[in-house]
Amino acid sequence: MAGPLIADQRAAARGQRIYAMLLAVTAGVIMVIPAFGSNYTKTFVMQGLMSCALAGSWNLISGFTGYVSFGHAAFFGIGSYAAGIAIVHGGIPAPLAIAIAGAAAAAVGLTFGYPALRLRGPYFAVGMLGVAEAIRVAVTVAEPVTGGGKGLVLPPEDVLDAAYYAMLAVVTTTVLVTYRVATLPVGLRLLAIREDEVAAEMNGIQVTRLKLGAFAVSALFAGLAGGIYAWQISYIDPGTVFAGSLTVRAIAMTMLGGQGTVFGPVVGSILLSGISEALWTRFPFIHTALSGVLIVAIVLFLPGGITQFLQNRGWIPRSRRL
Amino acid sequence: MSGDRPATARAAIGSTPAGAILEVAGLTRRFGGVIAVNDVSFGIVAGTVTGLIGPNGSGKSTLFRLISAEMPAHSGEVRLRGQPITRRSASEVNRLGLGRTFQLSRLYPAMTATENLVAVTRGEAKHALERAAASLDFVGLTAVADEFAANLSYGQQKLLEFARVLVNDPDVILLDEPFAGVNPVMEERMVAHIHALRDRGKTFLITDHEIRLIMALCSRLIVLDHGELLADGDPATVRADARVIDAYFGT
Ligand SMILES: Nc1ncnc2c1ncn2[C@@H]1O[C@H](COP(=O)(O)OP(=O)(O)OP(=O)(O)O)[C@@H](O)[C@H]1O
Ligand SMILES: [Mg+2]
């Protein structure tokens, strides 16, 4: 087969422009919502941003390297508690507490990633589930510091707007970092690990180092999101911030948009947030089950997500992992 | 001497010429009760093409996996330019200048041919695309540069894997059955490529059951049987060795 036809390339470039414009419009709307929107709208969008941060973070390790983690909520929870404890017990100002949240999650990511990333496939996925559960239990037991199962109450502050923009900043940074990764050879090296780790290693790719790096950066963003969440909501408990449903949603969103792509998690979280908001009011009970059903449906019918669907139709270029 | 061919072949077994670029010393690997590679020693000289032949299951691929550090040996040592590499990771061994292909191609299927090469290319990122293009051109795959590796034919996949090994310009190249499934025109081109690379000082160790091609390519043959070195010498001598005929060629 010869290279793509010029007409195809034009169509793909046009498709890519439309795609980029839609994303830019969305970003613009999100930027101005705090000025016009109600608290309800702000809270809803903030929730979507948080999901998007988690999805983008999950994508960095699982979407690119194929190390599918079922315990990603652990890093969100650690971030929440690190910020909460820093604020409550340390009297540390929120911005610094949120930075600590990111650092703590990254440090835990490095610590657990070193042994966990030696596991392959389902063993890693389940191993991370175990890690998340172990951390949740540890947090619950450490009652004097964490407030245990009753949770941790932060000084209530009306910081919705500030937290909103902080979450937007985390999402933007995640997307920019992913873009940078995806457009440099390092992104292809991460994908090569996903595609065939032995062949990656045999061709000189420094697999262990890259996996750990991706894992730490991924944990960092999840931790930052958790820290901002704790600051804004001003009450956290282990059941909420370590909830498996956080991980499931992040996986569903990323898979819907396209794993190992730049905008996949963004597109997926916009769509899924919208869908679940529409369903939430009418069918509150099937809401969580929906994510699970969606994952199965995507795996069966749209394994590469929306991005690959568009690429296969020639609407966006296949060589660029956007 | 010529009347005693087996002795000739045996005298050369495990010979490690002075200044060998790749040396294998007493390498052994077991799988349960099977000794896949049994106390194998030899050395190969830079700028030569050596064939590694033997029956199915004689340990050729396992030997490749031990040399390239895909799996650890139970005993013995591998040296590259005199430096032991036995305890190194596979990616370090590759970075030291030893590249290999797999008997069954192991590409990155959801990545394009170009991406398969760019992913592994070392050195400055801005030159990666050029080098990938040059490597694809070398094996005649320019037309499918933007095709996903999974969509390539079996032979094209073999060639892409060859190109991927070459992109980092290794000094020692191990090819595990590079001709299986490759058409005659491509075979000829690969033989020419290997000779051209050899003339530039590259060192090859090649296994294949295409004995005609192996004879044409190699200046030396090493024969494995049940994990043991059975013969080692120039192709004509080894081809005529009674024990090799018995174990491998048949009559
Ligand atoms: N991972 C493994 N686990 C168990 N046994 C193995 C493994 N790999 C190889 N073996 C055994 O080791 C022996 C040597 O196998 P190897 O693949 O090295 O042979 P080969 O010479 O490459 O054969 P072929 O010409 O068919 O490719 C065989 O008996 C094989 O069954
Ligand atoms: Mg073999």
User: Exposed, middle or buried, A11 (CB in 10 Å: 0-12/13-18/19+)?
Assistant: middle
Domain for residue B67, yes or no?
yes
Return the structure tokens found at A76: 């969100």
If you count DSSP H runs as helices and E runs as strands, how many of each does chain A have, helices first? 16, 2
- The amino acid present at A34, given as its one-letter code, is P
Q: How many CB atoms lie within 10 A of CB A24?
A: 10
| Rounded Cα distance, B161 and B175, in Å | 10
Ligand 1 atom closest to the Cα of residue B71 is 1
| Rounded Cα distance, B42 and B228, in Å | 12
Over range A6-21, report the average pLDDT.
72
Ligand 1 atom closest to the Cα of residue B103 is 27
Domain for residue B143, yes or no?
no
Which position has the higher pLDDT, A266 or A11?
A266
For tokens 């160790």, the residue is B205
Nearest by CB to residue B119, choosing from A188, A208, A318, is: A188
Which position has the higher pLDDT, A80 or A1?
A80
Ligand 1 site, residue B103, Cβ cutoff 6 A: yes
> Residues A220, A226, A228, A233: what is their CA dihedral angle, to the nearest 10 degrees?
180
CATH number, residue B58: 3.40.50.300
What's the pLDDT at B229?
92
- pLDDT tens-digit profile of B127-176? 888 999 999 998 889 999 988 899 999 889 999 999 999 999 999 999 99
Over range A295-300, report the average pLDDT.
82
Domain for residue B119, yes or no?
no
Over range B16-25, report the average pLDDT.
84
- pLDDT tens-digit profile of A53-110? 999 999 999 999 999 999 999 999 999 999 999 999 999 999 999 999 999 999 999 9
What is residue B178's three-state secondary structure? coil
| Rounded Cα distance, A184 and A275, in Å | 34
Chain B CB contacts of A196 under 8 Å are 106-109
Over range B1-14, report the average pLDDT.
43
- pLDDT tens-digit profile of B173-209? 999 999 988 888 888 888 998 999 999 999 999 999 9
User: Exposed, middle or buried, A23 (CB in 10 Å: 0-12/13-18/19+)?
Assistant: middle
What's the pLDDT at B14?
62
Contact status, residue A114 vs residue A212, Cβ threshold 8 Å? yes
Q: How much is the mean pLDDT over chain B?
A: 89
What's the pLDDT at A17?
81
Residue A21 clears pLDDT 90, i.e. is over it: no
Choose, out of B80, B85, B91, B95, the residue to mutate when testing the contact with A (most A CBs < 10 Å). Answer: B91
Domain for residue B161, yes or no?
no
Query: A191-195, A236-240, A302-306, B240-244 — which is least confidently predicted?
Result: B240-244
- pLDDT tens-digit profile of A217-233? 999 999 999 999 999 99
User: Is B102's CB within 8 Å of A206's CB?
Assistant: no
Domain span at B42: 2-97+171-176+209-249
Ligand 1 atom closest to the Cα of residue B224 is 21
Return the structure tokens found at B49: 């093409």
Contact status, residue A75 vs residue A222, Cβ threshold 8 Å? yes
Q: Which residue on chain B is closest to A182 by alpha carbon?
A: B119
Domain count, chain B: 1
Could you list the beta-strand ranges (E) of A114-230: 152-153
Domain for residue B28, yes or no?
yes
Does the beta carbon of B51 lie under 8 angstroms from any beta carbon of chain A?
no
Residue A187 has φ and ψ, to the nearest 5°, of -65, -40
- pLDDT tens-digit profile of A203-221? 999 999 999 999 999 999 9
Ligand 1 site, residue B38, Cβ cutoff 6 A: no
ipTM: 0.88
DSSP string computed for A149-172: GG-EEPPP---HHHHHHHHHHHHH
Return the structure tokens found at A1: 């087969």
Over range A149-175, report the average pLDDT.
92
What's the pLDDT at B251?
60
Q: How many CB atoms lie within 10 A of CB A303?
A: 13
CB-based contacts of B69-74 (< 8 A; 24+ apart in sequence) = B69/B93, B70/A198, B70/A201, B70/A202, B71/B29, B73/B27, B73/B28, B73/B29, B73/B37, B74/B28, B74/B29, B74/B30
Residue B8 clears pLDDT 50, i.e. is over it: no
Pocket test for ligand 1, best of B29, B58, B62 (most atoms within 8 A of CB): B62
What's the pLDDT at B27?
95
For tokens 């690969």, the residue is B190
Per-residue pLDDT band for B61 (boundaries 50, 70, 90) equals very high
Q: What pTM was computed for the model? A: 0.88
Go through the domains of chain A in sequence order and give each one's CATH number: 14-28+38-312 (1.10.3470)
Q: How many CB atoms lie within 10 A of CB A281?
A: 8
Ligand 1 site, residue B56, Cβ cutoff 6 A: yes
